[in-house]
Structure 1
Amino acid sequence: MMLYKAPSVSTESDNKVLLAAHIAVDIVAGDAFGVLYNELVKNRSLATSVFGEYSELVGSDGVVSVELLPKLGVSPEDINREAKEVIADLMEQGVTEELVNSAKYRSMAHFTYGLDGVASMARFYADTLAAGAEPLAPEDVLGAIKSVTVEDVNSVLRRIFSEASVTAYLTGDEHDGDDEYDEEMLGSQDISQPEEGFDIATEFPREDEAMWSPDDESIVSVTEA
């Protein structure tokens, strides 16, 4: 996981900058639509998933988090280095109008469906007010998203990702880095082999998470709670 300092409602008074930051993060790490997913998952086959999140409703600096799940055999250090190279190339070349328009459409759709109901709207206003900011009316938010330009996104993209980042790795028991975990590793995690007729069969002594690769029956990841 890589963490970057970003503008928030407490440090940035221009709502357009905050919305441009949302669009920039979506372009970089927006699940299957982001540049990192396209490069690291589809093109280079180094990762299995990419997730990005931007938290701006806080009383201090905002935070952008980028989570990467490397494929088995790819080290966290390698995947983070590759990700930073992709982001650096994007900052140098700049985002395209096509990427910005696509991200703006997703942002408007997400905002519209996210406020579908009185309870959702109440949470939206409550979260904004709790952070000490003045909430915009929903129609004003949509108008502000539409007004975001390519230049706005490139500016905030470089503002966020040019800064130093904090990197954290979630690791389990040590292993030799080969594609197959050794028997001692498997025994320590107490994970059973899938039986005939079942897609996944796992037994954990505690709240761990695991994911099987159905093709070769190897463990893709184990994350300790």
Structure 2
Amino acid sequence: MRQTRLIPLLLALAAPVPGLAETFEQQLPNGLRVIVKEDRRAPTVVHMVWYRAGSMDETNGRTGVAHVLEHMMFKGTPNAGPGEFNRRVAAAGGRDNAFTSRDYTAYFQQVPEHKLAEMMQLEADRMRHLTLDPAEFAQEVRVVMEERRLRTEDQPQSLLFEQLTATAFQAHPYRVPIIGWMNDLENLAPADARRWYDNWYAPNNATVVVVGDVDHQAVFALATQHYGPLQARQLPVRKPQDEPPQLGTRRLSVKAPADLPLVMMAYKVPVIRHVEQDVDPYALEILGAILAGHDAARFSTSLVRRQQLAVEAEADYDSTARGPGIFYLRASPSEGKSVSELEAGLRAEIAAVQERAVSADELARAKAQLIAGQIYKLDSMFAQAMEIGQLEAVGIPYAQKRRLLEKLQEVTAAQVQTVARRYFSDQGLTVAELVPQPLPSAARSPAPARH
């Protein structure tokens, strides 16, 4: 089957199947939005609570508080003591966890469908009645500090990425790592977490997503019962935090123990703000797939196999975010090749797209690869819930998901060439180099699992 015939087929597979996965929404009087997707293929349900508050909402001196509060959400309320939340989910035969990003914080449980009411009761309880015991807080901050040491400070690639981002952004809070700066973590107090919790953990700043073997009317009734009594609260005013224009290339180097050197390049690019009117973010998604989206993509074909400049080369771009976008290139040079040679090779691949439009087959393959990745999410209830929550958290209505796929399909070779020319210049570029240092004789043990 030709690639050009594959894309319409994939879009057809994305269409709703009657009785399989219909989506419904209701907003409670307190502002809480409840989105339910009925998927009856298995007697299980995913229940997620998304708060539209992440590390980008933090202030200097209190970085990392969003993530620390996420940990504290498992430390108990007057109705459920420390650790009881996890124990009750496990007793129900389910799993649970949470995650913090720059844009949002989310909590989830996947349990048998008849346990949904209990999960809602637990989540509604900690949405308003978190204990925040000072001793538990001090212990959890120490856990997060060790997590930072193990996952960032002792990981050269993570350290390089952190420094690159802090250099690429000068004003926008995306410059701050999600886990926070170590000095801020050392000085966080329970009052900082309490302020964060009181500011953002409110029903009118949350979305509940339920996907699984459920009836939407029954879910709405449960949400009204458990979340409905919670009071809406006045949210802090979110001020614009636009990043000033970059006026030239920024460069930095990081010295850290590592096996191989590494180069990372960050270009300032837009993200989706208007699903229908925007063009460039979709073209940038396609460009990323053309450069490094599969084994036959340009970086693997040219830089790794043909020229043997790199042992690995990747491109990364997320078109959905509350803040500004960055298109990342990342590569490690082959033995005998320098970082400067590899940087020149990465630039040459971009220049090739700027100078000559990509082929029809190359374009079709990139589209098929991207859209297939989206279609495969339908196999997982958790992935479906994640997709709904992530889109809503960054301001994109979940109902426009199909239109996002159609917009990817509509991208032309000329539009891919246009974005390569428009955004991939030295003026908006930040380059970071990892300079390997001798490895220590004994490495730290792996980071412990959260919660």
Which TM-score applies when normalising by structure 1? 0.71
Give SS of 2:335's match.
coil
Partner of 1:206: 444
Cα distance in 2 for residues equivalent to 1:161 and 1:33: 22
Shift, 1:93, TM fit:
1.2
The CA deviation at 1:80 is 0.8
Q: Is the counterpart of residue 108 in structure 1 residue 385 in structure 2?
A: no
Structure 1 residue 147 corresponds to structure 2 residue 410: yes
Deviations 1:128-149 (A, max 9, x none): 1211223344443333322222
Identity across aligned pairs (percent)? 24
Secondary structure of the 2:433 match is: coil
Deviations 1:134-176 (A, max 9, x none): 3344443333322222222222232232353111112221xxx
Residue 12 of structure 1: how far off its partner (Å): 7.6
Call closer, same or farther: CA 1:172–1:62 in 2, change over 3 Å. Answer: same
Deviating more after overlay: 80-89 vs 103-112 = 80-89
TM-score by length of 2: 0.37
The answer for the alignment partner of 1:168 in structure 2 is: 432
Aligned runs of 1:1-225 on 2, under 5 Å?
A: 1-10=264-273, 14-162=277-425, 164-173=428-437, 185=438, 188-190=439-441, 204-206=442-444
Contact 1:27 1:35 in 2 (8 A): yes
Provide Cα deviations, 1:101-134, integer angstroms capped at 9, x if missing partner. Answer: 1101101111111343222122112111211223
Residues 67-112 of structure 1: CA deviation (Å, up to 9, x unaligned): 1111122222220122112211221112111111110110111111
Cα separation, partners in 2 of 1:63 and 1:114, compared to 1, 3 Å = farther
Contact 2:350 2:420 survives alignment (8 Å): no
Structure 1 residue 31: deviation in Å?
4.7
Which moved further from structure 2: 84-93 or 111-120? 111-120
State how far apart, in whole Å, the 1-side matches of 2:273 and 2:403 are: 20
Which of structures 1 and 2 has the bigger CA Rg?
Answer: 2
Contact 1:11–1:60 (CA<8 Å) still a contact in 2?
Answer: no
Q: Any idea what SS the aligned residue of 1:73 has?
A: coil
> Does structure 1 conserve the Cα–Cα contact (< 8 Å) formed by 2:271 and 2:320?
yes
One-letter code aligned to 1:168: A
The alpha-carbon distance between structure 1 residues 136 and 96, as it changes in their structure 2 partners (threshold 3 A), is farther
1:131/1:139 CA distance change after superposition, 3 Å: closer
Asked whether the 8 Å contact 2:310–2:332 carries over to 1, the reply is yes
* 1:24 partner letter: L
Say whether the 8 Å CA contact 2:275–2:403 is kept in structure 1: no
Distance in 2 of aligned mates of 1:114 and 1:95: 28
Residue identity opposite 1:206 in structure 2: R
Q: Which amino acid aligns with 2:436?
A: G
Deviations 1:2-48 (A, max 9, x none): 11111112488635432221111111232523212221111111111
User: For 1:168, what is the secondary structure of its paired residue?
Assistant: strand
Instruction: Tell me: CA distance 1:102–1:7, structure 2 relative to 1, closer, same or farther (3 Å).
Output: same
Which runs of 5 or more structure 2 residues have no equivalent in the other structure?
1-263, 447-451
